[in-house]
Structure 1
Amino acid sequence: MPDDRVQANKATLVAELPRLISAAPHRLLFAAGASAVIVSMLWWAIVLVGARSGWTLPAPPVPPGWAHALLVQFGMLGPFLFGFLLTVFPRWLNRPALARRHYVPVFAGVFGGYLLAHIGLLTGMPAFAAGLALTIAGWIAGLVVLGRVLLAAGRFDQHAASCYAALLSGAAGLIAFAAALATQRWLLVPAAVKLGTFGLLLPIYFTVCHRMVPFFSANLVPGYRMVRPAWSLPLLWLFSLAHLVLELAPMPRWLWLVDAPFALYFLAHSIAWQPWKARVSGLLLVLHLALFWLPLAFALYSLQSFVLFAGGETILGRAPVHALTVGFFGSMLVAMVTRVTQGHSGLPLVMGTVPWICFAGVQVVAVLRVLAETRRDPTYWFAVAACAWIVAFLPWVLRSLWIYASPRADGAPG
């Protein structure tokens, strides 16, 4: 009888899993993103290690670097973006929470397309193109759902509007990549990749920071002075689009004119948000620590550009973009997703050992990837950094998946 009860309990848990993991948009889409964190870098690590060892996977239908840039930015981070925004848009705009019928199609398209595209990396262009098309369909479904929330609110919210504009830029990037595949106009690929970085990820990440970092700080720090100027986001978009235009022109010799003030912009915000007061909470501290990658990344962009302006050569390779993507996007991913996961799962608002180890590991990975550009054998260090990413993230991913597949600790719905 005890064995029968154990088996019955296991069967019940398995049967309940789809309902549990889809109980809220952040559960379903964060679970997808957490899985993609390992899938994306596992494929990339195999590519990099194989290139050195002589053993490689089947040749992908597009150059590996293109696939890596596309699937990390849109496929790996995309589910996290939608999981967060489908959760907070109704809260920001005082609208009812979204139902499964609103966010499950977004999950099916964005994550299903991501997985299909990865199958295509191993089997050929038909599956890769179909995966890209399905991702675009899921992305548009997310835009429709969030757009309806915006319209129903009947009022303008600066943060929601900025995030929505970034998602529109992301859709443009995906469509540009699809157009490149369809027409073989490969000049569209850099546009797609740069739209992902400077039209989608940078604006949406910093918009969320602009709203949430002062908010979280004020909740935890007595007497905290909240700084959230209305001019920040228009200036963010001005700098981001100016950088994007100069990159695509391409006019790298002139990027320092934008990126030097951009670095100061981010440094000023980081200081204005008073990171020295964040020691009261690990969950708060990591948000502030992650922010310091932004001025560093754009200082590196500025340095490289100014050297070109002065008649020199490229000295930093792709170090600046990886300071931004691995350093800032990776660090803030761990910080913000851990904060949301703890709060929305009824768990104590503490950082915990596993998230701390992951966050520290991401700092190591980011430093490795940035410094790799200056080493005698950079491809070796690229592979080391990719493998280190997997080691750093795997315990955090497994812990996160367990939480998303479990009932809330406080018994509340969602």
Structure 2
Amino acid sequence: MQVIDRRKALSIPPIWRLAFRPFFLAGSLFALLAVPLWVAAWTGLWPGFQPTGGWLAWHRHEMLFGFAMAIVAGFLLTAGQTWTGQPGVSGNRLAALAGVWLLARLGWLLGAPIAMLIVAELLFMFGVAWLMGRMLWVVRQKRNYPVIVVLALMTTANLQVLWGVAAGDDGLQRQGVLAGLWLVAALMALIGGRVIPFFTQRGLGRTEAVKPWVWLDVALLVGTGLTAVLYAAGVALMANQLLGVLFLAIAAGHLLRLVRWYDSGIWRVPLLWSLHLAMLWLVVAALGLALWHFGVLAASSPSLHALSVGSMSGLILAMIARVTLGHTGRPLQLPPGIAGAFVLFNLGAVARVFLSTVWPIAGLWLAAVCWALAFALYAWRYAPMLLAPRVDGHPG
């Protein structure tokens, strides 16, 4: 049976053998094009056609539910195989899921009717949740059931955005997008809390990883999830000192974890410092939002971009660089230029969060160029790996 399964797995074109392959490649290509396109449209350099709901609605939705969810799908549906021992989605089912994702992306950009987008978005989100849930349910892996809860809530947030687009309600769109963003932050708190100490241990040759404080991990997951609910309800869009305390606690909790994980040796290993910096951006985001709720900062947008650009997207770039190496059977040694991609990316995040508040146009273009170059470097170096069989000859 194992021989038959192995032969069957190896007969599948490499791109469809595991979910990380099509979704990491498609997500990175989409990212490197979407941000410069948005900045060009926002600064009036793009022709007059409009995507569904307009450019702002497109940018809000697609950077989260298009780009980030592609990477989340690729990561979870690949990790699920490792977590559960169950076969990951592959072949025709994976191609169909990727096709639905692509249909939704093209539909949004080309101005498709909102009804068609709702169907495509729900098919994709439910598809990811069902495939992941099935792997966990077969082995009754309760430890990872919170992942399914987050995916279900992400689907609800997506529907809230779609409803806002259909109704022409900008407030509903913003509520749904920010709720979804903090749900991704909850996933980052959950998954990052597990893998970053382990990766740090492996990367620095420690004898054991820093043991988690379970109470802190649970508190951060609950607190971050609560912010998503408050954004979905519209409560967190208004300055409130109690919410300032909540965001301050989230910042302090994540900073405490980073201090516990820290080792000066990480600065010699780009695959490590890129992960730690991404989580530090989450601290910056939560602290900035706390200061906005306390009335110290005039606007919340820079802090929200510290979360969406610096933290979420920074963790995405760092994780896909590592996961691709491991799951294609390669040693954990970065290809040429990828350490530079991490540097470029974080310079772009600084430009978006800080410089664009002083020099809006120059700051945005600098951020967009750094972002695009970082993801272009990933696509250039990693596309051949994603499109080719594992170097060790194993399936996957």
Q: Normalising by the residue count of structure 2, what TM-score does the alignment of the two structures yield?
A: 0.88
SS at 1:57 equivalent: coil
Aligned length in residues: 382
What displacement does 1:242 show?
Answer: 3.4
2:166 maps to 1:170:
no
Letter in 1 for 2:387: A
Note if contact 2:16-2:90 (Cα within 8 Å) is conserved in structure 1: no
Which structure 1 segments of 5+ residues have no match? 1-15, 309-313
Which structure 2 segments of 5+ residues have no match? 1-9
Letter in 2 for 1:253: N
User: What residue in structure 1 maps to residue 172 of structure 2?
Assistant: 188
2:87 maps to 1:89:
no
Note if contact 2:288-2:300 (Cα within 8 Å) is conserved in structure 1: no
2:215 maps to 1:231:
yes
User: What residue in structure 2 maps to residue 140 of structure 1?
Assistant: 126
Note if contact 1:115-1:131 (Cα within 8 Å) is conserved in structure 2: no
Hey, what's the Cα distance between the residues in 2 that align with 1:354 and 1:163?
33
Larger Rg: 1
What displacement does 1:269 show?
Answer: 0.7
* Pairing partner for 1:395 from 346, 371, 377: 377
What displacement does 1:17 show?
Answer: 11
SS at 1:231 equivalent: helix
RMSD: 2.4
Flag the 1:408–1:225 CA change in 2: closer, same or farther, 3 A: closer
Letter in 1 for 2:173: V
2:57 maps to 1:63:
no
Letter in 1 for 2:222: L
What displacement does 1:138 show?
Answer: 1.3
Hey, what's the Cα distance between the residues in 2 that align with 1:393 and 1:380?
20
Flag the 1:162–1:276 CA change in 2: closer, same or farther, 3 A: farther
What displacement does 1:366 show?
Answer: 0.5
Alignment of 1:245-394 (within 5 A): 245-247=229-231, 248-249=234-235, 250-254=237-241, 255-279=243-267, 281-307=269-295, 314-375=297-358, 377-394=359-376
Which digits, 9 at most, give the CA deviation of each residue in 1:72-100, with x for residues without a partner?
Answer: 00101111101111111132133334343
Hey, what's the Cα distance between the residues in 2 that align with 1:59 and 1:101?
33
Hey, what's the Cα distance between the residues in 2 that align with 1:239 and 1:70?
24
Hey, what's the Cα distance between the residues in 2 that align with 1:62 and 1:74?
15
User: What residue in structure 1 maps to residue 13 of structure 2?
Assistant: 19
Hey, what's the Cα distance between the residues in 2 that align with 1:285 and 1:374?
26
What displacement does 1:129 show?
Answer: 4.7
2:26 maps to 1:32:
yes
Hey, what's the Cα distance between the residues in 2 that align with 1:61 and 1:225?
47
Flag the 1:42–1:108 CA change in 2: closer, same or farther, 3 A: same
Note if contact 1:35-1:397 (Cα within 8 Å) is conserved in structure 2: yes
User: What residue in structure 1 maps to residue 3 of structure 2?
Assistant: none
Q: Normalising by the residue count of structure 1, what TM-score does the alignment of the two structures yield?
A: 0.85
What displacement does 1:62 show?
Answer: 1.6
What displacement does 1:265 show?
Answer: 0.4
Note if contact 1:34-1:400 (Cα within 8 Å) is conserved in structure 2: no
Hey, what's the Cα distance between the residues in 1 that align with 2:263 and 2:315?
15
Letter in 2 for 1:349: L
Note if contact 2:16-2:91 (Cα within 8 Å) is conserved in structure 1: yes
What displacement does 1:208 show?
Answer: 1.5
Flag the 1:184–1:268 CA change in 2: closer, same or farther, 3 A: same
Hey, what's the Cα distance between the residues in 2 that align with 1:363 and 1:146?
31
What displacement does 1:245 show?
Answer: 4.6
What displacement does 1:306 show?
Answer: 1.3
Hey, what's the Cα distance between the residues in 2 that align with 1:252 and 1:72?
25
Note if contact 1:109-1:136 (Cα within 8 Å) is conserved in structure 2: no
Hey, what's the Cα distance between the residues in 1 that align with 2:17 and 2:24?
12
Hey, what's the Cα distance between the residues in 1 that align with 2:140 and 2:257?
30
Hey, what's the Cα distance between the residues in 2 that align with 1:118 and 1:82?
21
Which range moved further: 72-81 or 230-239?
Answer: 230-239
Which range moved further: 162-171 or 380-389?
Answer: 380-389
2:102 maps to 1:115:
no
Note if contact 1:282-1:350 (Cα within 8 Å) is conserved in structure 2: no
Which digits, 9 at most, give the CA deviation of each residue in 1:234-274, with x for residues without a partner?
Answer: 31233223333544224323231111111100001111112
